[in-house]
Structure 1
Amino acid sequence: MYTIIIILLLILSTTAAITTLSSDITALKAIKSSINPATIPTYTCLHSWDFTSDPCSPPHVTHFLCGLSCSGDRVTQLTLDPAGYSGTLPPLVSQLTQLITIDLSDNRFHGPIPNSLFSLPNLQTLILAGNSFSGVSPPAITNLKRIQTLDVSHNSLSGSLPKTFASLTELTRLDLSFNQLTGPIPILPKNIIQLALKANSLSGYLQKQSFAESTQMEVIELSQNSLTGTIPGWFFLSPSLQQINLSNNSFTRFEILKPVNSSLVAVNLGFNKLSGYLPAAFPAYPMLASLTLSYNNNLKGRIPWEYTKLTRLFLDGNLFIGLPPKEFFTRKASVSGSLGDNCLKSCPAWSELCFKSQKPWSVCQKAYRHRGKLESKS
């Protein structure tokens, strides 16, 4: 009995002895003081940060109810609730050297991201999405050697990205969408699985060196940029790729090579400037179910029957001619999408695929230069 009492006393004394490292407390105070008090409602995590008690010492009954986690006397997670906090992120955040996770998403933080943040040696998750951070993309971002998830989407970052992220060997998810970033796509790290750079102003071509080492990539989201040139055949061939979205760019043509062990399920190339003919090899991708090539493109010729194998197909707003494959309209057909706004003949109005009307004859005639050529092709 006495032994049990002694053990309990030792446990209690050890627990009570935990006091947060003073430099961590200084950093936490700086974070709270950098936020406008008027944006800290009484029900929020930050309101419970009352430094009359110790941040890492349990029990948290009235103070430090949420917003941070500790291991021993060090803060390891800074995860604020999306309460609309408005303020800046102070450079003193770098004193929280044991941080593994920072999540400040869906608030109203503004100003530059302090370079000191990227000196945190143990940071694995950095989520600053849905704020108003501004300034140029910090070159020091590549110093986060242990980072696994990096999400700074929906902010106002500008300038070009670092030339390479190759040193971030543990990075699996990168999302910098909805910013104002410019320049080419950087060299990507080898273990990345999800890449999202949507709605920026990235430009240039798809360079093989950017993607050469990223053989585990499953999702590529590059829509709403200013990328141009040819979408090369190798781009579709990575065996791990499942989803590709390159819509709303300025690509002018694309190449399709014979697939080998492909996992590709969905491809969106709509709203580009693509020209040429539909390659019969595209439906040869064994798992491809959804393909979008809608609008702003100028694809011509007949629609190969192989495309009837897909379950979602959007070819509207091009210049396709002739009779659409009859397999689209059988009872067994399970294709949804649109073939409208083309130059097709006899696209049945009862089919969902043909709800949109076809282009006027004059438009089609002009696209194929003269009526005889159009009739010969259709």
Structure 2
Amino acid sequence: MSLTSLTTTMKILASSLTLILLHSTVAESNTFPGDIAALKSFLAALDPASIPPGSCLASWDFKLDPCSSAFSTHFTCGLRCDATSSDSTSLTFSRITDLSLDSIGYSGPLSPSIWSLPFLQSLDLSNNRFYGPIPSPLPISSLPPLLRRISLSHNSLSGSIPSFSASPSLEELYLDGNRLSGPFISTSFPSLRRLDLQSNNFSGSFPDLRSLSNLNFLDLSDNSFSGPFPPDSLPSSLFELSMRNNLLTGNLPGSLLASLPLLQVLDLSHNALSGPVPSAAFEHPALEQLALSGNAFEWVEEPDEIIASSNMVALDLSHNEISGLLPEFVGSMPQLTAVVLEDNRFTGLIPTQYAMRAAGIPGAWVAFERLLLGGNYLYGPIPGLMQGMKNGAAAVVSLADNCLFRCPEYLYFCAGREQKPAVVCRDFNPMIP
């Protein structure tokens, strides 16, 4: 082969190799045009002044391909492209699967285009300053079919939650820390496991959430839900329910607790619930934490039997209107470590088992780490088992502001507030001379 022919052949091979590599790069980095259009629309809706240099959105340069690893200095964060699809010409495109922005204060309305990413699996825009309503998907109300997680927490979003049609894959929905309002209408999310709507402006009666048949975690705290607590409004799958700082009234139905056999945490603090603390709360097989402080409960229903198999570790009934003797059965709940009963109207003596567990006396139970009984009308002497307890002991104990004999403030568990005057104590304890 002549030198001229060899040179020509090498040029052809080099040109062919260049075309192959270029085709390979394009095939690997060619983001689907519809995904690019959705990202452009999302970015265009934001206030440019809220996009500082060095942020994720500042690196988005649409002169380049979003999903190309060849342009790693652009689109440095905020996106993930883990899926591919082919069109009618068999060209393969990269697809956006994750839109997760840094918490840097981006401001502006949310474009409906965020729902126009059909391969999207996770959306996280939390801890920014997005405002206005949560947009409905256009032209239909369906969320991306593969979407598993939405977090719009801690923004300034307002209005109601759109009535999304059935979303078969959504497992986590975080809308806490916004300005959303109106009654909450349960949407068909058959796979939803976590729903966080705390710190918004929702109002109206307690929503019927039975259609969320796989829900494990529900937080509706710091809203304005009002009215009685319906006994049949929650799915039996719940592990944790928090509704502190609302306007719920009436009794806490024992049947509600019986209908939630997996419930481990119940927090209904700072509502206006009244009547009895139901015995079902203490008989519950799975409940570990019960917080009912800041209500208007009046007495404690005693279980029929000693709760030797109880798993409860923390009980808070403080700041209510509960009267009567301290419930002795509480001292027999073997896993309890924190008992907070302060600022009620309890009377009588401190039960022996309370004193034994506060002092760390071994038994068929764990020791109390926290025993707060201040602000009641307990009388009698301080139990001998507690008199030797020194400040810095394992248990945090408060007996201040009661009617106890010889409970001077130099004892750490009597400090903070003096014991009540005798004339006040006699009104609640006829046995006091």
TM-score normalised by structure 1 residue count? 0.83
CA distance in 1, matches of 2:23, 2:387: 75
Q: Among residues 325, 343, 346, which one is paired with 1:277 in the alignment?
A: 325
Pair 1:306–1:124, CA change in 2 (3 A): farther
Q: CA 1:38–1:141 in structure 2 vs 1: closer, same or farther (change >3 Å)?
A: farther
Q: Residue in 1 aligned with 2:424?
A: 363
Which residue is 1:375 aligned to? 432
Name the residue aligned to 2:149: 125
CA distance in 1, matches of 2:256, 2:112: 32
Distance verdict in 2 for CA 1:177–1:139, change over 3 Å? closer
Answering whether residue 75 of structure 2 is matched by residue 51 of structure 1, we say: no
Is 1:189–2:235 an aligned residue pair? yes
Specify whether residues 171 and 341 from structure 1 end up closer, same or farther in structure 2 by C-alpha distance, changes over 3 A only.
same
Q: CA deviation at 1:374?
A: 4.0
Cα distance, 1:301 vs. partner?
1.8
The answer (yes or no) to whether the contact 2:183–2:204 under 8 Å persists in 1 is no
Structure 1 match to 2:388:
330
Paired residue total: 363
- Match in the other structure for 2:161: none
Q: Which runs of 5+ in 2 are unaligned?
A: 1-16, 84-93, 157-177, 358-367
Q: Tell me which residue corresponds to 1:170.
A: 214
Change in CA separation of 1:331 and 1:355 when aligned onto 2, cut-off 3 Å: closer
The 8 Å contact of residues 130 and 153 in structure 1, kept in 2 or not, is answered as: no
Aligned counterpart, 2:40: 29
Verify the 8 A CA contact 2:227 2:248 in the aligned structure 1. yes
The Cα shift of 1:75 comes to 3.0
3-state SS of 1:13 partner? helix
**Structure 1 position 33, deviation (Å):** 3.1
Name the aligned partner's letter for residue 383 of structure 2. Answer: P
- Determine which of 118, 140, 149 is the counterpart of 2:194: 149
How large is the Cα RMSD of the aligned pairs? Answer: 3.1
Larger displacement relative to structure 2 (321-330 or 118-127): 118-127
Between 1:337-346 and 1:102-111, the stretch displaced more is 102-111
Take 1:355 and 1:169, find their aligned partners in 2: how far apart are those partners? 49
Report percent identity of matched pairs. Answer: 38
Deviation of the 1:182 alpha carbon: 3.5
Distance 1:25 1:201 in 2: 46
The 5 Å alignment of 1:224-243 reads 224-243=270-289
Q: How does 1:96-135 map to 2 (within 5 A)?
A: 96-114=117-135, 116=137, 119-132=143-156, 133-135=178-180
CA apart distance, 1:115 = 5.1
Distance, in Å, in 2 between the alignment partners of 1:202 and 1:152 is 16
Separation in structure 2 between the aligned mates of residue 209 and residue 97 of structure 1, nearest angstrom: 43
Q: Secondary structure at the match of 2:96?
A: strand
Q: C-alpha displacement at 1:348, in angstroms?
A: 4.6
Is 1:247–1:271's contact at 8 Å kept on the other side of the alignment? yes
Equivalent residues of 2:285, 2:310 under 8 A apart = yes
Find the counterpart in structure 1 of residue 354 from structure 2.
Answer: 307
Q: Residues 222-276 of structure 1: CA distance to partner in whole angstroms, max 9, x if unpaired?
A: 2223333322111233332222222222222222423253221111111222222
2:111 aligned partner = 90
Q: CA deviation at 1:286?
A: 0.8
Match among 37, 44, 49 for residue 38 of structure 1? 49
Alignment-mate amino acid for residue 411 of structure 2 = S
